[in-house]
């Protein structure tokens, strides 16, 4: 196996910030450049790769860079087949795919010019007409290849069909000109034929999240000749003083923890290497305001439990790196009431104490969860358990009638059932608005329909 040396670039910096190297045995190493380390506004690639002079060896470097590759097999498989590479050859794959890494990062053959630069709305994008948009959306809906004339400049992680595009100031859709390196501004998520209502369900979950006060990705649903798609504004984009689109460096919690994509659920990890409450606590402790971030995360956990989102895994939480080195948790995104789909698991993405399902949670489990997040005072635990649970459930209850009227009754019934489950587990009274609902998920997971 030959040695491969790659430049690692971060949008906003003129020169490579470091190098990724694969040796003859296939092991990876990453090192920041000395010039970058001396830059006053240097930021780390990851919490798992702090700014240090020493090189990071394979065990530290591999998880972060592996997370830059897509989870969908299709695009990867083309390179694997064409180049005869193994899936474990992260550097070899990034040699061909690294210019299109998600976010502000790119990994390029040594000496290559920057692949990602700010985008000028007037010169760096080409408009897409309605016919082109419809063709793209319908291709994604049918899980077919994109139209030949369509470039996807930012292959996205995850298993859903999606494409990154730009919305220009006048509201029209566009894509970056080939080779421009300009950022996209929005993600278009398209359901498959078996899940046509997913965009509306995810939009409702995002709307509930924003209504309850969580910083949440902005989204809307649009119909493209019979196929609905969710259009999400990217939270890792901004405008500079010249009104150019720029990228903001971000990483998901898997990268921050040095976990490969295969360990994004706690149940897939090991005792010392997994996405659990203690690991989450270590990430939140590295943010600008750990106390506030922890309270928000606990509230978000309660929100997910009540709304039936059991897919809040390590790649569905992210950190944003602000200019000057500040780190904060990104807005909420990828929210879906997965418990409405009987084909999906009811296992939680991370355990609450010893509980791996909503139906198993007890007061003691929640206390164990809070202690793992650094909340050791019994008084503080009680305040969070009673106060936050009451606050989140009360706010959601206030939305149920609106959901009933807007075609979301099945989702509202799921929320009602889950609130009942959690309040009962915590020894809290169940409000009449919940008891009076005429449909619930029974405690075994099946629907019970009232008369």
Shared domain check, 398 and 342: yes
Residue 257 belongs to a domain: no
Q: Structural domain tally of the chain?
A: 3
Q: What is the pLDDT along the chain (451 residues), one digit of tens a residue?
A: 889 999 999 998 999 999 999 999 999 999 999 999 999 999 999 999 999 999 999 999 999 999 898 765 566 778 888 888 888 899 999 999 899 888 899 999 999 999 999 999 999 999 999 999 999 999 999 887 666 556 544 444 444 588 999 999 999 999 999 999 999 999 999 999 999 999 999 999 999 999 999 999 999 999 999 999 999 999 999 999 999 999 999 999 999 999 988 999 999 999 999 999 999 999 999 999 999 999 999 999 999 999 999 999 999 999 999 877 789 999 999 999 999 999 999 999 999 999 999 999 999 999 999 999 999 999 999 999 999 999 999 999 999 999 999 999 999 999 999 999 999 999 999 999 998 886 544 444 444 433 2
Residue 370 belongs to a domain: yes
Q: Which residues, listed in sequence order, are joined to residue 91 by a DSSP beta bridge?
A: none
Residue 350 belongs to a domain: yes
**Assigned token pair, 367:** 């206390």
pLDDT at res. 291: 97
Residue 284 belongs to a domain: no
Q: Which residues, listed in sequence order, are joined to residue 288 by a DSSP beta bridge?
A: none
Q: Which residues, listed in sequence order, are joined to residue 185 by a DSSP beta bridge?
A: none
304, 311, 334, 413: the active-site residue: 311
Shared domain check, 158 and 79: no
Residue 249 belongs to a domain: no
pLDDT at res. 160: 58
Shared domain check, 140 and 93: no
Shared domain check, 85 and 178: no
Shared domain check, 131 and 105: no
Shared domain check, 185 and 89: no
Shared domain check, 424 and 298: yes
Look at the pTM and tell me if it is higher than 0.95: no
Shared domain check, 423 and 297: yes
Query: Are the C-beta atoms of residues 432 and 394 closer than 8 Å to each other?
Result: no
Shared domain check, 206 and 171: yes
311: annotated active-site residue: yes
Shared domain check, 420 and 308: yes
Spacing of C-alpha 266 from chain mean position: 16
Residue 245 belongs to a domain: no
Domain, as residue range, for 53:
4-109
Specify the CATH number for the domain of residue 198: 3.30.200
Shared domain check, 421 and 304: yes
pLDDT at res. 181: 93
pLDDT at res. 386: 94
pLDDT at res. 290: 98
Shared domain check, 76 and 220: no
Residue 430 belongs to a domain: yes
């Amino acid at each position: 196996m030959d040695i491969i040396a790659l430049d690692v670039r971060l949008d906003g910096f003129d020169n490579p910030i470091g190098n990724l190297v694969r040796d003859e045995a296939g092991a990876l190493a990453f090192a920041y450049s000395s010039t970058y380390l001396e830059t006053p506004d240097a930021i780390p690639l990851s919490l798992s790769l702090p700014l240090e002079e020493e090189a990071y060896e394979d065990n530290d470097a591999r998880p972060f860079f592996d997370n830059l590759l897509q989870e969908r097999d299709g695009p990867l498989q083309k390179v694997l087949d064409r180049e005869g590479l193994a899936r474990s050859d992260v550097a070899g794959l990034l040699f061909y795919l690294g210019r299109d890494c998600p976010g502000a990062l790119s990994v390029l053959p040594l000496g290559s010019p920057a692949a990602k630069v700010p985008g000028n709305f007037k010169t760096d994008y080409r408009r897409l007409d309605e016919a082109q948009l419809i063709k793209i959306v319908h291709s994604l809906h049918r899980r077919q290849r994109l139209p030949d004339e369509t470039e996807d400049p930012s292959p996205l992680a995850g298993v859903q069909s999606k494409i990154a595009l730009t919305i220009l100031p006048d509201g029209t859709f566009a894509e970056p000109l080939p080779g421009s390196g300009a950022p996209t501004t929005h993600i278009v998520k398209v359901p498959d034929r078996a899940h046509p209502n997913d965009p509306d369900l995810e939009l409702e979950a995002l709307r509930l999240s924003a209504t309850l006060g969580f910083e949440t990705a902005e989204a809307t649903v649009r119909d493209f000749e019979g196929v609905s798609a969710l259009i999400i504004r990217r939270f890792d984009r901004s405008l500079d003083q010249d009104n150019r689109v720029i990228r903001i460096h971000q990483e998901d919690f898997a990268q921050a923890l040095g976990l490969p994509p295969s360990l994004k659920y706690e149940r897939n990890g090991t005792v010392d290497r997994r996405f659990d409450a203690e690991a989450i606590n270590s990430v939140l402790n590295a943010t600008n305001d750990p106390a506030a971030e922890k309270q928000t995360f606990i509230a978000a956990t309660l929100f997910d439990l009540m709304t039936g989102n059991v897919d809040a895994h390590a790649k569905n939480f992210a950190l944003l790196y602000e200019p000057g080195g500040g780190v904060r948790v990104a807005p909420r995104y990828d929210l879906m009431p997965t418990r409405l789909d009987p084909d999906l698991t009811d296992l939680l993405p991370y355990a609450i104490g010893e509980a791996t399902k909503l139906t198993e949670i007890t007061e003691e489990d929640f206390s164990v969860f809070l202690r793992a997040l650094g909340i050791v005072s019994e008084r503080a635990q009680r305040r969070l358990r009673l106060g936050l649970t009451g606050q989140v459930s009360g706010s959601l209850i206030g939305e149920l009638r609106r959901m009933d009227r807007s075609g979301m009754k099945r989702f509202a019934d799921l929320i009602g059932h889950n609130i009942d489950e959690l309040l009962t587990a915590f020894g809290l009274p169940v409000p009449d608005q919940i008891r009076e609902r005429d449909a619930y998920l029974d405690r075994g997971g099946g629907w019970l329909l009232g008369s």
